[in-house]
Chains A and B, each alone.
Chain A
Amino acid sequence: MTLSVEQLSVSINDRPVLRDLTFALADGERLGVIGGSGSGKTLTALAVQGLLPRGATVSGRILLDGVDVLALDDAELAKLRGDRVGMVFQEPKTALNPLHRLGRQMTESLHLHYRLSRGQRREAAEELARRVGLDDSARMLRSYPHQVSGGQRQRAAIAAAIAANPTLLIADEPTTALDVTVQQGVLRLFLELSETQGQALLFISHDLAVVAEVAERVIVLDRGELVEEGRIEDILATPRHPVTRALIEAADGRPA
């Protein structure tokens, strides 16, 4: 079991934001987390990495590869991130440092963990570029974030997240800022990576149609609570909760 969240409750300034959340993610499994804004999706992703804001009160357990994340100190958490968990955000423009070349950023976590030589680092960067489908890698690795397209930036951000071979990859609305034709390629990349690298994937989105393209199983959150859980086909065929039905309806009114 890669991830096991048990009865997780979180309050921020005495306002409950996650209530009694229990779910698990098997090794190599792709789990979608879906809900509207304010449902607690992003907070769940942050909690799993020990990134809750100051002033948050937490109860329950989060086991990542058997280690209780909530019991770790800052140094241990820093090691956990990048090493065990990789994270991809919605907006690669803000997630990447504008002052550093892509090649350097893609290998940052690797370098922190293994102290690579320049040659090793270049080799690792080239290998990563190949894995995330960044063509013309020599030029890409030398480029700064603003010099490449949104899709290429997101591929570079994904490369950075998977560089140290984490067991869990978390993606929070990773295609929301991308054009639809670019989105397709990035979603396919998540599928490929999960198949070739065997990483577990926690994929967060408000859009059920996007989640359905990558996830095998989904959990539906509403106001901090898990309201429905199941295999994607079952949820789509027989949704029980009104929020799930509304999400399906929202995703259905589209050109097919």
Chain B
Amino acid sequence: MSEQGTERRDPVLLEGRALVKRYRQPSERLFRREPETVALNRVSLAVREGESVAIVGESGSGKTTLLKQLLGLETPDAGEVRFAGTPVVPRRGDRMLWLRRNTGIVFQDPYSSLNPRMPVGAIVAEPLGALDLPGDHRALVIEMLERVGLPADTAERYPNEFSGGQRQRIALARALVHGPRLLVGDEPVSALDVLVRQRILAQLTELRQEMGLTLLTVTHDLGIVRQLAERLVVMRRGEIVEAGPIEDVLTRPEHPYTQQLIAAVPTLPRR
């Protein structure tokens, strides 16, 4: 599938056009050419300002590879990425601060993504320092921690004093402290139990409204997308097999793979 039409009129914030990415696999024999895997096969995706898009796929679908190209963390073999109209071209030595200033990322595992030796205040302040932003960093950090629902003394404490859900709130605060336009989540609630997951999803929705964020989330879990996004993109083997408004895709999936994926989500028996 190529371009996806949307009814929204808002300007496009993030766009990938015909992205291709190949990886070399280790060769089975010495001196033989390494076989190649096509991780992304001409994938196009546009995320409009203010919308929330979820990319769903299983392992090996290319969803994380797509994210890396969109964020300028890798260079695609073909195709182009634009953020708010500006081409995203990773170059050696270019930290792309303009793009970092406009984006924040939350990863899956709140245990490995926070440095255990740093107090939370310093962790959350990291982007402010790295981007060399003006202003009272401490005040910004305190305000952000409060916004994600953490107690006032959080800044002085260390990550190990917090539960998984609280750590993910800390990760959220770090991703948002510099006021980005786009928040990217890579399996942001997959490591959390279902009860904590609900609260973090609700928090995300609230922050999105308050801060006018655009949201792009990749996940393997179809169970969370309804709460999180308005538009769903389904990937398999490096290609987008289906995309559209969440309700349409979930209730009338067209592609057999989407149907299979939806049928596989464990649900409670009808009562």
Binds B, one of A45-53, A104-112, A129-137, A247-255: A247-255
Partner of A247, one of B194, B221, B227: B194
* Contacting residues of chain A (200-256) with chain B, CB-CB under 8 angstroms: 206-210, 212-213, 233, 236-237, 243, 246-256
Tell me the residues in window 212-235 of chain B with beta carbons closer than 8 Å to chain A beta carbons.
220-223, 226-227
Q: Is the interface of A mostly helix, strand, loop or mixed?
A: helix
A207 touches B194 (CB 8 A): yes
Shortest C-beta distance, B24 to chain A (Å), equals 18
Do the beta carbons of B268 and A212 come within 8 Å of each other? yes
Residues of B within 8 A of A7 (CB): none
Q: What are the residues of chain B within 8 A of A182 when measuring CB–CB? A: 58
Do B266 and A209 touch (CB < 8 A)?
yes
Interface size class of A (residues with CB under 8 A): 20 to 34
Q: Give bound CA distance, A184 to B58, whole Å.
A: 13
Chain A contacts for B58, CB-based, 8 A: 179-182
Residues of B within 8 A of A237 (CB): 271
Would you call A86 an interface residue if the criterion is a C-beta within 8 Å of the partner chain's C-beta atoms?
Answer: no
Q: Which residue of B lies closest to A185 (CB)?
A: B264
A38 CA to B220 CA in the complex, in Å?
24
Chain B, residue nearest A208 (CB) = B268
The majority secondary structure among interface residues of chain B is helix
Chain B hits for A252, CB < 8 A? 267-268
Decide if A250 touches B197 in the complex (CB within 8 Å).
Answer: yes
Q: Is B262 an interface residue (CB 8 A)?
A: yes
Q: Is A36 within 8 A of B195, CB to CB?
A: yes
1/0 per residue B236-268: CB within 8 Å of A? 000000000000001100000000111011111
Please state if A180 and B164 are interface contacts (CB–CB under 8 Å): no
A212 touching B266 by the CB < 8 A rule? yes
